[in-house]
Amino acid sequence: MDHPSLPQRLLAEFLGTALLLVAVVGTSAMAAGLSPGDAGIRLLQNSSAVALALIAVIYTFGPVSQAHFNPVVSAADWILGRRTGTGLTTRQLAGYVGAQMTGALAGTMLGNAMFDRPAMTVADTTRSGGHLLLSEVVATTGLLVLIAALVRTGRGASGPGAVGAYIGAACWFTSSTCFANPAVTVARMFTGTEAGIAPGSVPGFLLAQAAALVLACGLVRFLYPRDSRVPAGSPTSNPPAGHQRCLSRAETALVSSRNRPAGTPGARPSARR
């Protein structure tokens, strides 16, 4: 897809985040009805469904918006790409975060309504304790480092499966069940399902996710100092799909032809773009 406009990208972020919350809330409601007496089975149902849904929405909207669906992912993209011009601009960051927050709230309301629940209910599930906040730091840091590692080493095409697998696993290996997303955290205040989080627990989770953002950016700059991407708008820009813009087929063919040695079958003279 060739350079989607900002409105297209914001709509993709809104829809992708909304569908992610529909999956979170909907699977929680469904699992509660199917397995009311077995918390382990409910977690298995929730984590597997959400991981698969995340893979699907990344494949669907990744070519349009890079499939962030998460304010800390967008913030990391802005922070890490400022020096090289490969990340979001400040204006784009504000738009992305706004689209993600409103999409998360809309998805929560839709998920509630689909299971004949009030569209918005203040959650009463308290999630407090240092171990939960530590889990959020670990879960969020791991997610951000994973995405940056894929992007900076040219393996963005593996993003959907890798991110989905990580989230599904982190639901099990963290005591917080891996929120790792400020938009998801805020939106889950408004569901009465097991996925909810009481308002009093939200500030701690948000602070833990912000701390993870700082930690992850430091780790990425140390471990992956070179970004394989080039500044947006460059004629040779070719970020991998999933979390970066994709070249159109025509552009890919043009770049390929330019890279062929003279005399190679199929080589063509360079054309002005």
pTM of the model: 0.83
How confident is residue 86, by pLDDT bands cut at 50, 70 and 90? confident
What value does the mean pLDDT take over residues 1-26?
95
Which range (56-70, 98-112, 225-239) has the least confidence? 225-239
How confident is residue 1, by pLDDT bands cut at 50, 70 and 90? low
Pick from 78, 51, 59, 230: which is nearest to 158 by CA? 59
The four Cα atoms 17, 18, 21, 25 give a dihedral, to 10 degrees, of 180
Cβ neighbours of residue 36 under 8 Å, at least 6 residues apart? none
Sign of CA dihedral 115, 48, 17, 1: negative
**212 near 136, Cβ under 8 Å?**
yes
pLDDT exceeds 70 at position 235: no
Provide the pLDDT for residue 84. Answer: 81
User: Residue 86 half-sphere exposure, CB side, CA atoms within 13 Å?
Assistant: 22
What value does the mean pLDDT take over residues 163-192?
98
To the nearest whole number, what is the mean pLDDT of the chain? 87
The DSSP line for 4-53 is --HHHHHHHHHHHHHHHHHHHHHHHHHHHHH-TT-HHHHHHHHHHHHHHH
pLDDT exceeds 70 at position 262: no
The DSSP secondary-structure symbol of 70 reads S
Cβ neighbours of residue 271 under 8 Å, at least 6 residues apart? 254
Q: What kind and span of H or E run contains 273?
A: none
> Which amino acid is present at 267?
A
Nearest 5°: phi and psi at 202? -65, -45
Provide the pLDDT for residue 231. Answer: 64
Provide the pLDDT for residue 29. Answer: 96
Pick from 238, 226, 95, 236: which is nearest to 148 by CA? 226
